[in-house]
């Protein structure tokens, strides 16, 4: 077992590798296939996709082509906003599964909080009880969304995937999630490419003889947060995985915490899509 399979244990005992591979904005077809194959070759065993990315089919093809046992790879996909609702979510799940060419996914997420969260969650609970997903969770949920969901949920979400990086550490959400045994997962852990000009991180990268990407990702691991960096460049895919053989000191973790600022993505309370 390599370090790349170091895993968080979700509230139901399922293991979720701390390092995953993101596929947002990677076009379907050979680009996605080659990127996922490269990630699997390097040792990633966790792939994050979504219906809206349009690349589920290519992700599935890459996984089959890799020759690695399906059970060794943790696969996440998400129900899109326009599919929210009970029956429509069940239908969307069948479509995702068929595109992936799989008979289960490891984690199914509500992509964004919307009015029909509760009905949608009931569908996810059914999929979970039917054994068609190994874990269920949410994405882009703020604390108030989680609180509302928990009032109606039979099963507490196992994961919350949110925008999270040194400039927007989501300390309050992290604390809330830890208290409720919800694993926090960071999307945009490299600030969608904007993390690289942060002087604090450049200084730490020099100090530890690492890259800015490695500092930003390692920082999350030490906070107990799952990361899913995206790249189609084989060297960067490898670079982003080399985060298990060094440690950021407690003092320097606090230095990174001084970076606090704004989110760069959509505010989940004000999305129009
Ligand atoms: P990211 O933070 O992973 O940044 C990706 C960008 O950084 C790309 O432009 C890439 O070329 C660049 N990059 C990657 N590694 C680098 C390196 N080592 N050196 C220099 N540049 C590097 O952003 P992301 O893709 O938005 O987020 C990661 C994943 O999170 C996505 O691919 C997707 O799977 C998921 N995601 C989920 C949501 C959601 O709403 N749930 C939203 C966005 C992303």
Spatial distance between the Cα atoms of 123 and 252, rounded to a whole number of angstroms: 43
CATH T-level assignment (fold) for domain 3-193+225-232? TIM Barrel (3.20.20)
pLDDT digits (tens, 9 = 90+) for 171-218: 999 999 999 999 999 999 999 999 999 999 999 999 999 999 999 999
Q: Is 73 in the pocket of ligand 1 (CB under 6 A)?
A: no
Of 220, 228, 207, 231, whose CA–CA distance to 167 is shortest? Answer: 220
Residues annotated catalytic, as ranges: 53
Nearest-angstrom CA–CA distance, 67 and 82: 34
Please tell me the residue having the least CA distance from ligand 1 atom 29.
22
Q: What is the pLDDT of residue 260?
A: 82
Q: How far is the CA of 172 from the centre of ligand 1 (A)?
A: 22
Q: 227 CB under 6 A from ligand 1?
A: no
The pLDDT tens digits for 114-131 are 999 999 999 999 999 999
Q: Which residue's alpha carbon is nearest to atom 27 within ligand 1?
A: 188
- How far does Cα 75 stand from its chain's mean position? 10
At 65-74, the pLDDT tens digits run: 999 999 999 9
Query: What's the pTM?
Result: 0.98
Q: How far apart are CA 76 and CA 50, in angstroms?
A: 7
């Amino acid at each position: 077992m390599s370090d790349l399979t170091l895993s968080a244990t979700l509230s139901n005992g399922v293991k979720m590798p701390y390092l995953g591979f993101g596929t947002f904005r990677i076009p379907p077809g050979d680009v996605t296939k080659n990127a996922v194959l490269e990630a699997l070759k390097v040792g990633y065993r966790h792939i994050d996709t979504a219906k809206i990315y349009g690349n589920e089919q290519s992700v599935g093809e890459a996984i089959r082509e890799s020759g690695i046992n399906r059970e060794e790879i943790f696969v996440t996909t998400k129900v899109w906003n326009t599919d929210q609702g009970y029956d429509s979510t069940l239908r969307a799940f069948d479509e995702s599964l068929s595109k992936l060419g799989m008979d289960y996914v490891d984690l199914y997420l509500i992509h964004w909080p919307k009015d029909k969260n509760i009905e949608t969650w009931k569908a996810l609970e059914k999929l979970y009880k039917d054994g068609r997903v190994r874990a269920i969770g949410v994405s882009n949920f703020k604390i108030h969304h989680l609180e509302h969901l928990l009032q109606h949920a039979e099963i507490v979400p196992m994961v919350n995937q949110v925008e999270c990086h040194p400039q927007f550490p989501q300390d309050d959400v992290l604390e809330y999630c830890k208290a409720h045994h919800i694993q926090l997962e960071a999307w945009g852990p490299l600030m969608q490419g904007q993390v690289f000009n942060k002087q604090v991180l450049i200084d730490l990268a020099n100090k530890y003889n690492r890259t800015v990407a490695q500092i930003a990702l390692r920082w999350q691991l030490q906070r107990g947060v799952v990361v899913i960096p995206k790249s189609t460049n084989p060297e960067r895919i490898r670079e982003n995985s080399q985060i298990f053989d060094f440690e950021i000191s407690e003092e320097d973790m606090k230095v990174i915490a001084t970076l606090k600022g704004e989110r760069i993505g959509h505010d989940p309370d004000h999305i129009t899509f």
